[in-house]
Amino acid sequence: MSGPFHVMIAGDGVAGALAAAVLATRLPARSHKVTLVPSVGAPDDTLGRVEPSLPSIRRFHAEYGIEEQELIRAGASFALGSAFSGWSRSRPTYFLPFGDTGAPLNGVAFHQIAERVRANGQQLSLGDYSIAAMLAQTGRFAHPSNDPRTPLSTYTYALHLDVAEYRGHLLGIARRRGVAIAAAPVVETNVAQDGSLAAVQLQDGNVIAADFFIDCTGSSAQLLSRMPRYERLCWRRWFPNDRSVELLTRTARAPAPYSHLAREEAGPWSRVVPSASGVSELRVYAAATQQPDQAEAALIENRVGEPAGEPAHRQLNFGRASVPWLGNCLALGSAAARIEPTAATDLHLIHSGLERLLQLFPRSRDCGIEAREYVRAQTLESDRCRDFALLPHRLCGALAEGPRELEDKIEQFRSRGHVGLLDGDIFEEQDWASVFDGHGLRQRRYDLLADAIPIASLHAQLARMRHVMLQAVAGVPSHAETLDRIRRRTAA
């Protein structure tokens, strides 16, 4: 092999910009070259204008030198979890927090303790024992503490990102680290005799040959779909919603430190993701139940801020590429998988896909062995994200039966409050327990070992826990104050 190993990234939305920034940081410059080719039309047709994320984003940014402070200064804000209204038949609203709920007592998981307390006749809400939930409810935010003795070390957080700013920031990093940016998008792909991708043709006539291609072109999967043996798995039978309309709004109010998902009786649901620079208001519905103009009217009528642009209508086609790495072409973002955004997994899957790629980075176009391991692990993770995203639909009764792995988890929980985590699961037992609890799904039996703790002692310990938590929360500044303080810090 002569010359540097050339990686071409097609599509300059967030996925492509992330790939460019991260690869340019990690690949040895002497032996590798990265080229980024713009998207056809507007980039990021699947992400919101403000996109939520999961706590995994913290480590990812730290790992690749993406400064959180700079993102905050550009308008991002913090998130402590998601509030779900109108989904549960037993409770008007429940919260899915980032971080711990309660703490194990005598080695017994907190949700098992909670169930024992309920079985004894006392009401208990898991959200009352979650620092993240308490902070979110009262509009507070500060970075968690490293000191394990304080309850303020038991939560974590994610970011609400202004997508255009995030993308711009990443492109800046990519350029500074030597990524070549082509001038025109891809119009044609040249698949070689051996089934590998050899080159692409751009709209301006240029031809770019490369050794490895990363498809970040969005749901059309321009490159991957041309590869032999490409197949797409459609998840319509689980995700019947196939349309969305989104509006970016502005408000003088300080952004809440969480996203809010509200479901209507008839089926459509909305998601509000606030940030310091604007609010993304999204409405997801099924074309069979509503016309686009009706959905748009409902969105505008229920808006929380003032419109700062035109509503954007989209078609949704949830599913994934059956094999997201074929030959020497890897898909990232919605070219690989598209999941209904109830669990904020879109950005996470791009981050984890990139990390996995780096762990398995190929040396040549002949990379079947690396591809096989990547596909195994990444598709497991995508499918498990799909299951968690389906969970609220399944529990509220909109979906009669989900994929087998999801049904197994629900049944195991119902039986004994046990959550059998599988390879690829990114959400923890506590997260599943929070959602089950929110929907009023009770376990038939709780962990026997919870019975070993006398009930009076349990009540006392829980009361003390809540007291200590409330005291700690009271000392935390407001979200607005924290954002302000960070923005005022002068850049180094």
Partner 1 sequence: MMRSGPIRKVLIVGGGTAGWMAAAALARLGSAGVEVALVESDEIGSIGVGEATIPPIQSFNAMVGLDEREFVQRTNATFKLGIEFVDWLKPGSGYIHPFGRFGADLDGVSFHQFWLKQRSNPRTAPLENYNICALAARLGRFSPPSPDPRSVLSSLTYAYHFDAGQYAALLREHSERRGVARTEGIVVDTLLRAEDGFVEAVVLADGRRLDADLFIDCSGFRGLLIEQALESGFEDWSHWLPCDRAIAIPCASPGPPLPYTRATALGAGWQWRIPLQHRMGTGYVYSSAHIRDEDAAATAAARAPGEPLSEPRQIRFKAGRRRKLWSRNVVALGLASGFLEPLESTSIHLVQAGVSKLLAMFPDQSFNPVLEAEYNRLSHLQLEQIRDFIILHYKATERGDTEFWRAVAAMPVPDSLQRKIDLFRESGRIFRHEDELFSEASWLAVLIGQGVMPRRHDPLADTIPADEVQVTLERMAQYMRSAAESLPSHPDYLARLGASPMIKLRSAS
- Binding stretches for partner 1 (CB under 8 A): 5, 26-28, 30-32, 63, 358-361, 363, 369-370, 372-373, 377, 408, 411-412, 415-416, 418, 420, 422-423, 444-445, 447-449, 451-452
Measured at the CA of 133, the angle between CA 102 and CA 397, to 5 degrees, comes to: 95
Nearer to partner 1, 376 or 487 (CB): 376
Whole-number minimum distance, CB 22 to partner 1, in Å? 11
CB-based contact 269:278 (threshold 8 Å)? no
Whole-number minimum distance, CB 383 to partner 1, in Å? 14
Nearer to partner 1, 318 or 413 (CB): 413
Whole-number minimum distance, CB 212 to partner 1, in Å? 11
* 276: its two tokens: 């310091």
Nearer to partner 1, 297 or 441 (CB): 441
Whole-number minimum distance, CB 377 to partner 1, in Å? 7
Nearer to partner 1, 239 or 446 (CB): 446
What length does the chain have? 492
Nearer to partner 1, 431 or 447 (CB): 447
Whole-number minimum distance, CB 216 to partner 1, in Å? 20
Quick one: which of 312, 302, 313, 314 has its CA closest to 272?
302
Whole-number minimum distance, CB 359 to partner 1, in Å? 7
Place of tokens 């109010």: 253
Whole-number minimum distance, CB 405 to partner 1, in Å? 11
Measured at the CA of 264, the angle between CA 261 and CA 268, to 5 degrees, comes to: 80
Nearer to partner 1, 1 or 491 (CB): 1
Nearer to partner 1, 341 or 402 (CB): 402
Nearer to partner 1, 28 or 92 (CB): 28
Whole-number minimum distance, CB 384 to partner 1, in Å? 12
Residue 363 gets which letter from DSSP? S
Nearer to partner 1, 256 or 391 (CB): 391
- 3-state SS, 268-332, equals CEEEEEECCCCEEEEEEECCCCCCHHHHHHHHHHCCCCEECCCCEEEECCCEEECCCEECCEEEC
- For the residues of 243-258, what is the DSSP string, one character each? EEEEEEEE-SSPPPSS
Nearer to partner 1, 306 or 373 (CB): 373
Whole-number minimum distance, CB 423 to partner 1, in Å? 4
C-alpha–C-alpha distance, residues 107 and 130, integer Å: 18
Nearer to partner 1, 167 or 356 (CB): 356
Whole-number minimum distance, CB 98 to partner 1, in Å? 23
Whole-number minimum distance, CB 183 to partner 1, in Å? 29
C-alpha–C-alpha distance, residues 154 and 134, integer Å: 12
Measured at the CA of 351, the angle between CA 350 and CA 354, to 5 degrees, comes to: 85
- Between the CA of residue 319 and those of 112, 373, 404, what are the distances in Å? 35, 21, 16
C-alpha–C-alpha distance, residues 256 and 338, integer Å: 27
Helix 163-176, helix 14-26: angle, nearest 10: 30
Whole-number minimum distance, CB 148 to partner 1, in Å? 14
Rg for the chain, CA atoms, rounded: 23
- For the residues of 80-124, what is the DSSP string, one character each? -EEEEES--SS-SEEEEESB--S--BTTB-HHHHHHHHHHTT---
- For the residues of 431-490, what is the DSSP string, one character each? HHHHHHHHTT---SS--GGGGGS-HHHHHHHHHHHHHHHHHHHHTSPBHHHHHHHHHHSP
* 412: its two tokens: 């195991």
C-alpha–C-alpha distance, residues 446 and 108, integer Å: 10
Strands 5-10 and 212-215: parallel
C-alpha–C-alpha distance, residues 325 and 102, integer Å: 41
Residue 162 gets which letter from DSSP? E
Nearer to partner 1, 236 or 376 (CB): 376
Nearer to partner 1, 61 or 418 (CB): 418
Whole-number minimum distance, CB 157 to partner 1, in Å? 23
